Structures are given as structure tokens and as C-alpha cells.
Amino acid sequence: MRLPNGYGSITKLSGKRRKPYAVKVTKEWTDDGKQVQKYLGYYESRAKAIKALADYNEHPYDIDATAATFATLYEKWSKLTYTDHGEPVPNTYIAAYKRLPRLHDMPFVDIRARHIQGELDACELGYSTQKMMKTLCNKLFALAIDCEIVTVNYAKNVKLPPNEVSRKHQPFDDDELAILWRHTDDFSACLALVLCYTGFRPTELLRIRKENVHLDDRVMFGGMKTAAGKNRAVPIAKKIFPIIERWMQTGGEYLVMDPRDGKPVLTYDRLRGRIWEPSDPLKLLPRQHLPHDGRHTCATRLDDAGVNIKVTQLILGHRASDITRKVYTHKTYAQLIEAIDQI
């Protein structure tokens, strides 16, 4: 079968080869009308070679970019999204990347849904972890499409396990909060209270810089993870105002500084291992709690107080398509403060 002019060519190479069919495509034309060809790849059969050539002609891509691996794209995405802006890559993405080891050295153009699905199926952890693995793959495919390495996002076809209701997190109850309030001279107890009365995710609180805390307005700006959660205004409840005020008087650029060495905490692992788990006041509680339980406490208490759901969404950074969130007015600040003071 003769191929159309400019379509590309298929040549069977001599000798015993596992992939004897070489495919070349036309990259450009010279001034005198001659084709400049480049190898597209090598294939086991003529049928596979024809399919590869047809796929290329239907959706042309940069052949030079086909050498980019999953690891290459991850490094490029990390730099563009975080490190080039002076921000560390979130631990959740680092962990997700590490849980996809068999993809690391694969050429990105060869990755299909079945490859990603295999990694998710091999993961022994649950829905949240596998969802983050899929999310990372989606982001890398978006970058690959933008760089014209691929034209289709195969990650979107990956299936996640059932999202079972998690019993991992539980709000602090009244007795537990009372114990924490009796130990406000302890840094870890104060940290737990601030998480309960702001609704911040632990890592969100750790990364707030003092320049983004406005005591006069009783509001601080922080947040991450989602578009609705990033750089949101969170009111400072009157109950924790003395704690925030005291933290603002310590050294360092971040609001949360480790009192033992004066260094920023920044990561969830450092928070749990160096501050949370060794804490004596937290050991007095009748139940064991995780740092994220503070966010659950805030959400539960706002609901119990009958706070308007839209205001709650603003405080917690939950997505709410019917709320105009581009600009916070002073009136909105007052509404947020009034709401948080009810718990």
C-alpha cells in the first residue's frame, strides 16, 4: 500500500530485530522541495507502524519531546508551579509521585490509562491517596498537552476505589477543649486551639507569614489546595486572639515558629513528629486526635451554631459557585468575625 506524499514512510530493517519496522515522518520541506524526515519510532509489526503513523498524522506532536519521561514532566511541573515561585512542593504531591514508581522512567507519550490504573490498583492505601495520585497525573497530562507532547489526557479515564466514609478524623468535644484551654501556656495546646477556631488545614496554618496577619482587622490570609481555599480571609476568633497576638511577637517570618529552636515548622510531618505527638496536654485527652481534627471541629461547631452555610464555606475555603469571592469587603470581614465568635 502506497502512502500519500508527505504522510511519512515505513521501512523494514534488515536482520533479526524485535522491532524491525522503522517509521519516519516529514518534519519540514527544504527550499528546493525536498522532505526533511525524522524517525518517529520502531515497531514490532507493519500494522503497528501504520497505526503509529496514522495517529501522528491525525494528532501531530513534537517528536523531540517524546523523550520526556513522567519524571521529567513532574520536575518541570514542580518548578513551574512551586519552586520557581519560592514555594515548596506540597507533601501530598511528593508522596503521590513516589507511589507511581513504574511510571517514572516511561516516555510520557507512551503512558495510557492502564499504566496509571495499575499503579492505583497496586496501592494499598485508600481513596484519598489514590485520588491524589490521579490528580497529579491529571496535572502532568495538562502540562504535556500544553507542551504539545500529547493530545489526550488518559488520566481522566482512571477509576478510583469507592469513597468510603472515613472515621479517621473526629472533632474535639467540649471536655477536650476545656483541657486545652487549661494549658494555654503550652505551645501544642495553643496550636490545637488555633486549628479548632480557624478551620485551617494544618499545613495552611504552618505556612502563614506574619505579614499576612492583620490584628487590627482580626483577619489573616492563607490557604492552599483548591481555588476556593487559596489566599482566603480567615477571621481571628476573640478566644484565640491572645494566642495569635503572642505568636506575632516572636521572631521569624512565619506565624507558627517552633518554640524550641525558633525555626518555622512548615511541614505536616514536622508538626506531628516534633510538636503534636510528644505533647503532654494532648496526651491528657481521653481520645487521640490528629492535627486535621481541628478543621473538623471548626466545621462542626459552625454548623451547631447555625452559621450561614455560605459564610462557613468562606471560612473553610470550600468551593461555592454562587459566592462572589474575588474581593472581600469590610462588611464581609465583619460577617466572618461575627460567625467565628459564635463558637
* Residue 267 and residue 229 share a domain: yes
Residue 103 falls within a domain, yes or no?
yes
Res 326: pLDDT: 41
* Residue 81 and residue 51 share a domain: no
Residue 105 falls within a domain, yes or no?
yes
Last residue of a domain, one of 157, 190, 216: 157
The side-by-side arrangement of strands in the sheet containing 219-222 is 213-214, 219-222, 232-235
| pLDDT cut 90: percent of the chain above it | 48
Q: What is the pLDDT of residues 1-48, one digit of tens each?
A: 677 666 788 888 888 888 888 888 877 777 776 767 777 777 889 898
Residue 245 falls within a domain, yes or no?
yes
What is this structure's pTM? 0.56
**Residue 330 · residue 235 · CB < 8 Å:** no
Q: What is the pLDDT of residues 137-167, one digit of tens each?
A: 999 999 998 887 888 999 999 999 887 655 6
Last residue of a domain, one of 21, 42, 60: 60
* Residue 140 and residue 114 share a domain: yes
Domain membership of residue 27 as a residue range? 9-60
Residue 164 falls within a domain, yes or no?
no
DSSP 132-201: HHHHHHHHHHHHHHHTTS-S--GGGGPPPPP-PPP-S-----HHHHHHHHTTTTSHHHHHHHHHHHH---
* Residue 33 and residue 178 share a domain: no
Residue 40 falls within a domain, yes or no?
yes
What average pLDDT does this structure show over 92-111?
92
How many domains is the chain partitioned into structurally?
3
pLDDT at 74 over 70: yes
* Residue 74 and residue 146 share a domain: yes
CATH number for the domain that contains residue 109: 1.10.150.130
Res 323: pLDDT: 39
Residue 4 DSSP one-character state = P
When mean pLDDT is compared across 29-33, 238-242, 250-254, 313-317, the lowest value belongs to 29-33
**Residue 180 · residue 144 · CB < 8 Å:** no
pLDDT at 228 over 70: no
Residue 250 falls within a domain, yes or no?
yes
What average pLDDT does this structure show over 286-292?
92
* Residue 143 and residue 34 share a domain: no
* Residue 150 and residue 199 share a domain: no
* Residue 226 and residue 85 share a domain: no
